[in-house]
Structure 1
Amino acid sequence: MTNRNLRLLPLLAITLIVVAIAPTLLWIRDHPLLAFSFFERGTYNTEISYQITVLMIVLVVIAIVAAMTGKAGLSYLNLRNRDGRIRPEPWIGLKPSDSDSWNNVGRNMAVVITLVTAVVIYFQVIHGERITLDLFPGLPLIVLFALMNAFAEEIIFRFSFVAVVHRYGYSPYVAQGLAALTFGIVHYFGTPGGIPGVLMAAYIGWLLAKSMFETKGFFWALAIHFLQDVVIFIALLMK
């Protein structure tokens, strides 16, 4: 077997693992392996059961990536690396000036993406519905679920590809493309869903994989995804 084929095997392996996990997450949503009854509202119990189950899958993914990439791959879990030069991507709206970096563009993207998510969620989920604000335990749980979900999906759909692609010397575009493709397709059945959900999730998948590569860290991917998920869980759990 040639060196090229040996380099290709880890990439194929992690791609197959993520492709297998994606529909599994949808199945677990309706058939949780764990069933907790911590709260009076069934929706809270369903969500915490799902999130804890997925967290176990995430730990397995991290272990697999660690075995494939070692410290080089695990370094992308660093939350302190927040800055880095931005490679221009005019076709997705990224046209940074010479003075721009992830430290300031990350904040701007977080605001814009969260607002766009709020608009899409309003028309897909909230429009015509009545929202009931459950201050406790609703709001603390929304924050917890958003953080758990963002962390899990960033590990599965971004970190896995970025770490392997970096370790085996492939172009960052390979990880960004795989992240966009897998995250986009699975969101056809998610929230936001349908074609708008696919397009938005594919864009986010591409952008957040890019942020990991260029900052050599996890911060902006987690932060941007977390803010999105806060909006989504407010809509889903406060109906």
Structure 2
Amino acid sequence: MSKKRSNWMPILLITIVVAACAPLLLSFRSSPLLAFEIFDRAVYNLEISYQITVLSLAIIVIGIVYGIAGKEGLTYLNLRRRDGIILPEPWIGIKPKETESWKNLGFNFTIVITLVTTVVIYFQLGYGESISLELYPGFIFILIFSLMNAFSEEIIFRFSFVSIVSRYGFSPYIAQGLAALTFGIVHYFGNPGGIAGVLMAAFIGWFLAKSMLETKGFFWALTIHFLQDVVIFTALFIK
């Protein structure tokens, strides 16, 4: 096996791992491996069972990344790194000024993506005139589930690719492309779902991978995904 071909093996391996995780997430949604009966409402029990199962899977993925990339691969878990140079992406309107950095872009896109998610979810679920939400403990669970889900999915669909691609010196667009592809496909069956869900999730996958690569950290990816999930879980719990 040539050296060039062997260098592609870590990327191929992590792609297989993530591709295997995707159908597992869909399966765990209805039949989690770890089943808990803690709360009075079945929806809370099903969700905590799913989230703990997927969190366990995310921890396994971290272990696999460590095995492939070593300690260097784990540096992208840093939550303190919130700034960095923005690489222009004129095709999507990212044309940073000299004074702009990821502190500006991250904050702006946090607001935009959260608002877009709210609009898409509202029209996809199609609420009637009467809705209700159990504020306590419902809203507390929304925050907990959102944080768990955001962390697990960022590990599986972003951190995995970013760490391996960076460790082995490949183009960042490979990590961004794989993150967009896998996250987009799995969301055909998720929330938001369908073609609109695929396109939106693919962009999110691409953008959050970009945030990790350019800040060398986990902060914006986790924050944006968390706020998206707050919107989604709120919608699911009041449906």
C-alpha contact (below 8 Å) 1:69/1:167 kept by paired residues: yes
Please name the residue that 1:43 is paired with: 43
Amino acid at match of 2:47: E
Please name the residue that 1:61 is paired with: 61
Matches within 5 A, 1:1-239: 1-128=1-128, 130-239=130-239
In structure 2, C-alpha distance between the alignment counterparts of 1:52 and 1:46, rounded to whole Å: 10
**CA deviation string 1:5-46 (max 9, x = no partner):** 111111000001101110110011111112111111111110
In structure 2, C-alpha distance between the alignment counterparts of 1:143 and 1:150, rounded to whole Å: 10
C-alpha contact (below 8 Å) 2:79/2:217 kept by paired residues: yes
TM-score using structure 2 length: 0.98
C-alpha contact (below 8 Å) 1:212/1:220 kept by paired residues: yes
**CA deviation string 1:65-123 (max 9, x = no partner):** 00111121100000000000000112223121111111111011000000000000000
In structure 2, C-alpha distance between the alignment counterparts of 1:126 and 1:43, rounded to whole Å: 20
**1:33 partner SS:** coil
C-alpha contact (below 8 Å) 1:69/1:163 kept by paired residues: yes
In structure 1, C-alpha distance between the alignment counterparts of 2:10 and 2:129, rounded to whole Å: 46
Extract unaligned runs of 5+ from structure 1. Answer: none
Amino acid at match of 2:197: G
Structure 1 runs (4+) deviating above 2 angstroms are 126-131
Extract unaligned runs of 5+ from structure 2. Answer: none
C-alpha contact (below 8 Å) 1:142/1:230 kept by paired residues: yes
In structure 1, C-alpha distance between the alignment counterparts of 2:170 and 2:23, rounded to whole Å: 26
In structure 1, C-alpha distance between the alignment counterparts of 2:175 and 2:162, rounded to whole Å: 5
- Percent of aligned pairs with the same residue? 67
159-168 or 28-37, which moves further after superposition? 28-37
C-alpha contact (below 8 Å) 2:81/2:217 kept by paired residues: yes
In structure 1, C-alpha distance between the alignment counterparts of 2:58 and 2:93, rounded to whole Å: 31
Aligned-residue offset at 1:237 = 1.2
C-alpha contact (below 8 Å) 1:126/1:235 kept by paired residues: no
In structure 1, C-alpha distance between the alignment counterparts of 2:170 and 2:208, rounded to whole Å: 17
Amino acid at match of 1:226: F
- Matched pairs, number: 239
In structure 1, C-alpha distance between the alignment counterparts of 2:103 and 2:109, rounded to whole Å: 11
RMSD over equivalenced CA pairs, Å:
0.9
Aligned-residue offset at 1:126 = 4.2
